[in-house]
Amino acid sequence: MRTSPSLRRKLISAAAVSAALLSVGTASVAVAQDAPAEAAAVPAALTEAAPGVQAERLIVGYKSGAAEATSNKAAEADAAAKDADFQRRLGTGAALVDLGANPSTAEVADAVAEFKADPQVAYVVPDRLNKPQADPNDTEYAKQWDLFETTAGMNVPGAWTTSTGTGVTVAVIDTGYVTHSDLAANIVAGYDFISDTAVSVDGNGRDSNPADPGDYYAANECGAGIPASTSSWHGTHVAGTIAAVTNNSKGVAGIAYGAKISPLRVLGKCGGYDSDIIDAITWASGGSVSGVPANTNVAKVINMSLGGDGACTSATQTAINNAVSRGTTVVVAAGNDNENVSGHSPGNCNNIISVAATNRSGAKASYSNYGSLVDISAPGGQTSTGTANGILSTLNSGASTPASESYAYYQGTSMATPHIAGLVALVKSANPALTPAQIETAIKNNARPLPGACSGGCGAGLADAAKTVAAVSGGGTTTGTTFSSSTAVAIPDNGSAIESPITVSGRSGNAPSTLQVGIDITHTYRGDLVIGLVAPDGTVYSLKAASSSDSADDVRTTYTVNASSETANGTWKLRVQDTAAQDTGTLNSWKLTF
C-alpha cells in the first residue's frame, strides 16, 4: 500500500531508470541501493540520468492518441494502476508521477519497467534536479572587459549604434530575481515555477512572485559531504549581464539594455527539477501550463544557465522543440566540468545554442565543457587568475536572505550564456523576422576565431556582437552559399556506414575555417551514431563520436568544421554509422554552408 508523498522521500536512483530504459526486452531490471534514511528532503542530486545520479519522481510521456496524453483522469488512473501517484500535467503534455514515500528498490524497478512496457507510453524519464552553472566570486563599465576588450571581449559597443534589444523579452530561467536598482527598470512580470516547498523555501509552491529568497544551505543539507553555501543570487547576476540599465551613471552595462527580463524561478535550495524547468520553458515561449495564468510577456529568448550530468531526455527536448517552434531561441550553458558537453544536459540537447566559456585571454576557460555539440563561445571569466578576470554583474550582499544590493565577479558557463542571450536579443530587435535557426546561423557565421587555445571543440569561435548585428541589419552577410541534400537515407542498425553526397561547384579557393555542417537525423538512440564529414580529397572530419551515455533521440544540429585546407569545389559526403544494436534511424537531410 503506497503512502502519500512526504518531505523525506527516499530517492529513485536514475541508474535504475536508465537501466529500465535501455534494457528493452529483458526480464529483470538493475536497481541501485535505497538512499540512506537520513537523506535530505531535497538532495543535491546533480541532475541527469546517469549512473549514480539520484532523482525522485518520474516524467511520463504518452503517445498521441492515448487517452492519458490529454485526460488527467486517465493519467491518474494509469498511474494508480502502476502503483504511482499522478501529480500534474506538464506544459508539454507529459505526466509527472510520484512513487510515494520510502519506495523499495523493487517498487522503483517495477514502476519504471511497467511504464516502459506500456504500449501507450512514449517515454519515461526521471524528474531530475538541476543546479546553477557558476562559481560565485565584485562596479563600473571600465571593469567589463568581456564587453569591449580587443583580445577577448565580445565587441558589444559596436552593436549598440544599431540595436540595444528594444522590444525583446528575455526569460531568465534561474533562481529568480532579488531587487536591484540597476536592473529594476528592465524587469517585467515573471513566475515562480518551483512546486516543491522544500526547494522553494519561500513558504509556498507556484505563484506569480519570482522573488529570490536565497538558496543558501547548511553542510550536508543537500547531500552527504556537501559543504555549506551562502546564497548565490545567481539569476540576478545572469539578468544583469543581459539587461542591466545602461547610461544611468551607476553600476554595470547590460549587453541588451533595451530589452526586458522576465525572471522565471526554477532553482531553489539544492537545485531544481526538470518538471519545473520544462513548464518554465513552455510558459516563457507562450505555451500553456495547467494552473498557471497565460503569459503576457512572451519571451523570444530563453536563457538557461543551469544543468548537470546525463543525456538530454525526451521530456526536456520536447519542451525545447515546442519553444523553438513558437519562435523562441533557447540559449544554454555547456557546463563547468571540463568535459565533453555530450554528457551534460540540457547543454547537449538539440535545437539550442550551447555556449562554452572563454577567459580574458580568449582561450577556453579551464572549467568549461567542450565538444562538437558546443555552438559558440563567449566570455565566462576565470577568477583563478585574478578576481577582476571574472564577469562583473548585479548581485546582493546577503549571505542567506536578501540584504543590500551589490555587484560581484562570477565565473562560469552560466556567465558566458547570458552574453549570447543578450546578443540574440540584439539580433532579434535588429531583425524581428529572423527565426531561431537563422539567428544561430548569423551568430556562428560572424564569430571570430578564438584568440586562445581550445582543445576539444568550442563551436564556431568567439561571438562578435557588432559583426553579427551589422550582418542581420544589412551591413554584412548572415549566411554564405548553402548546398544541401534532401535525399533520405536509411541508417542500418549496427551496420555499415552510409554516405550521402553533396556536389559543391562555383566556389573559388578553399573551404572556410568555419564551414557549417547542418544535419537532420531521426534516430531512437543517437548515442549509437558516429558521424563524419568526408572532404573531396577523402579527408574525414569527425563530427560526432558514439556515446553510451547519450540516450536521447535524433541529431538535429549544426557542426562547425575548420576545412580551410580543403578545396571547396568537389563532392563532399556525410558519413553516418550506427555502431550498436536495437535502434534505427534515417538521415533526412544535410547541408553545407560556405
Other CB atoms within a 10 A radius of the CB of residue 25 amount to 6
Are the C-beta atoms of 224 and 380 separated by less than 8 Å? no
Other CB atoms within a 10 A radius of the CB of residue 55 amount to 26
What are the backbone angles phi and psi of residue 332, rounded to the nearest 5°?
-135, 140
Tell me, yes or no, if 234 is annotated catalytic: yes
Residue 427 sits at the vertex; the CA angle it makes with 91 and 316, to the nearest 5 degrees, is 25
Go through 332-342 and write b for each residue having 16 or more CB atoms within 10 A of its CB, e for each that does not: bbbbbbebbbb
238 contact partners, CB below 8 Å, separation of at least 6: 172, 174, 303, 305, 393, 414, 415, 417, 418
- Coil, helix or strand for 441? helix
| CA-only gyration radius of the chain, Å | 23
- State how far the Cα of 287 lies from the Cα of 285, in Å rounded to an integer: 6
Residue 277 sits at the vertex; the CA angle it makes with 276 and 281, to the nearest 5 degrees, is 120
* Amino acid sitting at position 312: C
Q: Which three cell numbers stand for residue 541?
A: 572530419
Torsion of CA 141, 143, 147, 150, to 10 degrees: 120
Q: How would you classify residue 83: left for phi > 0, otherwise alpha for psi between -120 and 50, otherwise beta?
A: left
- Which residues are 70's β-sheet partners? none
Q: Which three cell numbers stand for residue 64?
A: 498521441
Cis status, amide bond into 346, omega within 30 of 0: yes
Sign of CA dihedral 191, 193, 199, 205: positive
Q: Which three cell numbers stand for residue 42?
A: 531535497
Of 180, 234, 344, 523, the active-site residue reads: 234
- Which residues are 522's β-sheet partners? 586
14 contact partners, CB below 8 Å, separation of at least 6: 48, 49, 50, 51, 53, 54, 55, 126, 128, 310
* Nearest CA-CA partner of 529 in 586, 590, 572, 455: 586
Q: How would you classify residue 431: left for phi > 0, otherwise alpha for psi between -120 and 50, otherwise beta?
A: beta
Other CB atoms within a 10 A radius of the CB of residue 431 amount to 18
- Rounded alpha-carbon distances, angstroms, from residue 226 to 53, 215, 412: 15, 14, 20
- Residue 8 is given by DSSP the state T
Tell me, yes or no, if 174 is annotated catalytic: yes
Other CB atoms within a 10 A radius of the CB of residue 266 amount to 31
Q: Which three cell numbers stand for residue 203?
A: 513558504
Go through 573-591 and write b for each residue having 16 or more CB atoms within 10 A of its CB, e for each that does not: bbbbbbeeeebbbebbbbb
- Rounded alpha-carbon distances, angstroms, from residue 205 to 157, 234, 422: 41, 20, 30
- Residue 2 is given by DSSP the state P
Q: Which three cell numbers stand for residue 417?
A: 550564456
Of 110, 174, 276, 279, the active-site residue reads: 174
Of 414, 485, 500, 547, the active-site residue reads: 414
Point out the residues that are catalytic.
174, 234, 414
